[in-house]
Amino acid sequence: MWLAVSVVGLGVVALAFTYYALQLEIEQPESWSYQPAPDARALRTAEFKFTALPVESQIDQQIHIKISRLQPGEEVWLRASTSDADEVRFDSWAKFIADGAGHVDLAKQAPTSGSYQSIDPMGLFWSMEEPGRKRFRHSEQWVLRQYQLSAETPNGIVSVNLARRYPAMDLELSEFKTGPIHAELWINPIVEKPPVVIRLPGSDGRYDRLKSSLIASHGFAVLDLRYHRGNARGLPPSNQIPLERVTASIDWLEAIQEEYGFDADQIGVFGSSKGAELGLIAGTLDRRIDALFLWAPASMAFEGGTFSDPKGGSSWTWQGRSIPFAAFRYPYLDGAIAATRLSFGKPFSFLPIYQEAIEDADEAALISVDNIPGTVMLAAGEDDRMWPSMEMGRNISKRVRARARSICLVEKYYENVGHRMNYELWPRGGTPDLFIMGGARDASYLAGADIWRRMIDFFSKTLIKQESFCI
């Protein structure tokens, strides 16, 4: 009898907890629905001028879209479409009003309605979606992808075709699994002895071939380094990760640089989110790192762990010992709430968990800035709902500027932008993440395009031209 009562009692507790977790007021800061374009009209070819240049461009290059020879105040509808690797069609649209000169310039005007809302020259590209909210899927075999654009008024229609170029097929890719090194190395064969950018991914730990190949196309060798398990075997879990995985990778780069034709004497690190936490720590440990670019940075070392083992101790070890860390206040409770909400398709924010960890942390958990490289750029969204990256970036900056040592440190923070670096100038599609990232949709894409250009410029000046980024 007592066993039956105990089972019933546990069931009641479980149901009550599930109800509690699902009733928490945790919502995405912005949600949006698919906005189908109005039906296209059968129109004759119009006489107004519609230009989209360049006709062929790399996928991270901006397109300049302009319309002229319209009547002042005339309405014009723009449409864009392409298909993904599954041949699923993605579409976007926007309605504009011609200015007093009869012009529409997407770099200067916002649409009055459409699939995006802001002044954004690339809004037609990233806002493409399909009715089922499918995520856009790229193909690693693509060299060029065709986009169709049209502009129409009651008097007629003009159409243009654009080709967007993928750089991966022009680069050399090698994958390595040797000792602590699990990485993909991208080499630009037309660049003599390019400097190296080490990419440190976020907590998902995955390779990003699109992002890495794009960086390499701008004149770099890129080491896409996996430092924890993610969805791969043979790597540490998300806690007790040896920091030697970064320092050993630099040793290894120095050993193979002549064979692969890059310059390991010029090394930059690009870390985002959890990778930014690792990047800052690595920058204090290894003086061979010349430049740090950190998106959504962390000023502290945090506790590691997963839902199955929420109290995992420090995320990092050095020379076999855990480094001091900011511990989560209620790891088991927070893990249970997160797992419950996500299993029911409800969103969840980690921001309060990290804020509590920062409040409770000892000063020893702060990542030292005494020995960081001479050139650092910190960037974040002001509305980060994953962890307080802007506040942590400002903490890093404050401590750096308090040191007597001269360091070129640049900060850039974006209003209405969350945790994700939405650098895509192409369709992304899909639905908002259940992990709440924060930020407004249009602002996030505008900021992502801007910080991508700044990141390329940062590494170009510091590593290729070897100029000061602060001049």
One domain, residues 175 and 160: no
One domain, residues 288 and 426: yes
One domain, residues 288 and 224: yes
Mapped onto helix, strand or coil, the DSSP state of residue 335 is helix
Mapped onto helix, strand or coil, the DSSP state of residue 147 is strand
Identify whether 375 is part of a domain: yes
209-246 burial, b at 16+ Cβ within 10 Å, e below that, comes to bbbbbbbbbbbbbbbbbbbbbbeeeebbbbbebbbbbb
Q: Residue 104 sits in which domain range? A: 49-165
Taking CA atoms, 426 is separated from 138, 166, 186, in Å, by 10, 11, 22
One domain, residues 400 and 284: yes
- The model's pLDDT over 30-55, given as tens digits with 9 standing for 90+, comes to 555 556 666 655 555 567 999 999 99
Which residue, 165, 188, 215, sits at the end of a domain? 165
- The model's pLDDT over 101-129, given as tens digits with 9 standing for 90+, comes to 999 999 999 999 999 999 999 999 999 99
Q: Which CATH number covers residue 456?
A: 3.40.50.1820
Q: Which CATH number covers residue 92?
A: 2.60.40.2240
Identify whether 18 is part of a domain: no
- The model's pLDDT over 187-246, given as tens digits with 9 standing for 90+, comes to 999 999 999 999 999 988 889 999 999 999 999 999 999 998 655 555 667 788 999 999
- Whole-number Å distance between alpha carbons of 429 and 34: 10
What HEC string does 314-333 produce? ECEEECCEECCCECCCCHHH
The set of long-range contacts for 86-89, using a CB threshold of 8 Å and a minimum separation of 24, is: 86/134, 86/137, 88/130, 88/134, 88/137, 89/130
Residue 197 near residue 223, CB atoms below 8 Å: yes
Which residue, 108, 137, 165, sits at the end of a domain? 165
Mapped onto helix, strand or coil, the DSSP state of residue 120 is coil
One domain, residues 182 and 71: no
- Whole-number Å distance between alpha carbons of 288 and 248: 12
> What are φ and ψ of residue 98, in 5° steps?
-65, 145
Indicate the number of domains in the chain.
2
What pLDDT was estimated at residue 192?
A: 95
Which residue, 137, 165, 193, sits at the end of a domain? 165
Identify whether 221 is part of a domain: yes
